[in-house]
Structure 1
């Protein structure tokens, strides 16, 4: 064994009270695996949503957390990582793992990439889940240079990444946000618009050329209805949060044509895996940044999840073992 690590697990299904910190063994890496001493763990709503609903009790306890950054401490035989050769001591990023809320983790090497030296550990740990999701949203809606798109929830982690990646592609973004968060949208190159009654008319006034596509990061009925009202082709609307609304739409309802993406969908998995290295390269050059709202010690993961769940933190929350 490579030793032990402090690791957060869900011991049941339900609210935040099911999460518990335990000392667990860290297995030695086998072929195709590496062990990482975690310097930072990214937090995402999917971490607690994964166990919010009743599941298979045989799967418990469930280790949580999908993305980390850290330092390689052990390498399995004949192993290379996703970005190529690796040595002990290398600084890396890992995404699409399980159990990231930990002080050390042995993971599949193909999910590990060299961390750009210019990218701090906290930003590196918060980059890829939101960044890959944002990239896929732009990809499936075929957003092109010169077009204007509407992003619902543009001040959140995924929305901020969409704003930056769209700007790099020459795509104009109108982003919904509260009045308090409008400056976040403007800071990252978007045109801010406040959500609420009259949203469609406000967007029309800002985009007389029309809205080519809509990217929904919030899942509200307003986001779906306004998108359908403004976008001529429902196939160019994507959501990461209105799955139930789309699934319930009867045949012939334009809402049934909205694209749904999620990490558990095979096509989404394949696409997100394919862009990890590219997003790390953008971040290493300073073209894609991750605003950090707050960091927490690993032992305060439950308190951090409460903030993530109940408020708009204004950036990524990061755990520091």
Structure 2
């Protein structure tokens, strides 16, 4: 039977397990894919702890981990005309992607660009798409300065590159160990940690034009001190704190059109996913730990062989 990596209850890593389950069947408006790779994101382990989007319902347990996946279509559901068996696609799964098979709704599924690896494509549906949505939401003009916290992580790396392509000057907050990496993306590096607000004021005495936060908490509060217009303060990590500061969360489009666009950016080399570590499905727990400890550089991906 096909394997999947799940959490059996809400809690810590002890709730995780690799299990066998029946192969899913594609419903109306869905495609079933044989998974080739699945991206790992902070939201994955947060969902295991019970976190869910405002208004979202608790997931039936056991629940499969994973919110972005790439694979080969093996079955199409009723009404599906955009894809056929054998197509290579990527998108946001219906009920998890750390598995040998996953269901994708066609509304948030796109064709994998020719020449883009399965591994790199797995970094696009959540990480790159979130970055793309956030940069478009801010709508800063070319030449403006954007501050990105968590600039060395999966979403941050994509955000820096998309912002630079839009003609923005980028200041990236990340750990000291990621200084060279962040600078290689074309951003001005500012070390994270205690005293961040003072360091930001030293680097940007005139302030910045926008803040794209991907860390939350103290980092978000410190970043807000160098921004005059709170209407240009967004977060992908901490909606509670950003609301207190007068900003807002990233408004996710979650459309196939956005996936097509980030796929195009990756295919033409504008956006490099920077997958720095890969794990097989039977080591999915290690992949989660690499992201959960908060120090991952670039993107972590789980690979599933054909």
Q: When the two structures are superposed, what TM-score results if normalisation uses the length of structure 2?
A: 0.90
1:232 aligns with 2:228: yes
Q: Residue 63 of structure 1 corresponds to which residue in structure 2?
A: 64
Counterpart of 1:245? 241
Question: Residue deviations 1:127-152, cap 9 Å, x none?
Answer: 22111211222233222211011111
Describe the SS at the equivalent of 1:25.
Answer: coil
Aligned ranges 1:288-307 → 2 under 5 Å: 288-307=271-290
Residue of structure 2 in register with 1:86 after alignment: 83
Aligned to 1:189: 186
SS at match of 1:50: helix
Equivalent residues of 1:43, 1:65 under 8 A apart: yes
Aligned residues, how many?
300
Q: CA-atom RMSD, angstroms?
A: 2.2
Question: Where does the alignment leave 5 or more consecutive residues of structure 1 unmatched?
Answer: 250-254, 262-267
Gaps of 5+ in 2: none
Deviation, structure 1 residue 29: 2.3
1:73 is matched with 74
Normalization by structure 1: what TM-score? 0.86
Once residues 70 and 240 of structure 1 are traced to their aligned partners in structure 2, the CA distance between those partners, rounded to angstroms, is 26
> Which residue does 1:149 correspond to in 2?
146
Q: Which moved further from structure 2: 154-163 or 68-77?
A: 68-77
The CA distance in 1 between the partners of 2:299 and 2:59, in whole Å, is: 32
CA–CA separation in structure 1 for the residues paired with 2:98 and 2:195: 42
Q: Secondary structure at the match of 2:261?
A: helix
Matched, 1:287 2:270: yes
User: Where in structure 2 are the equivalents of 1:1-321 lying within 5 Å?
Assistant: 4-53=1-50, 59-80=60-81, 85-207=82-204, 210-224=207-221, 226-247=222-243, 249=244, 255=245, 257-261=246-250, 268-270=251-253, 274-321=257-304
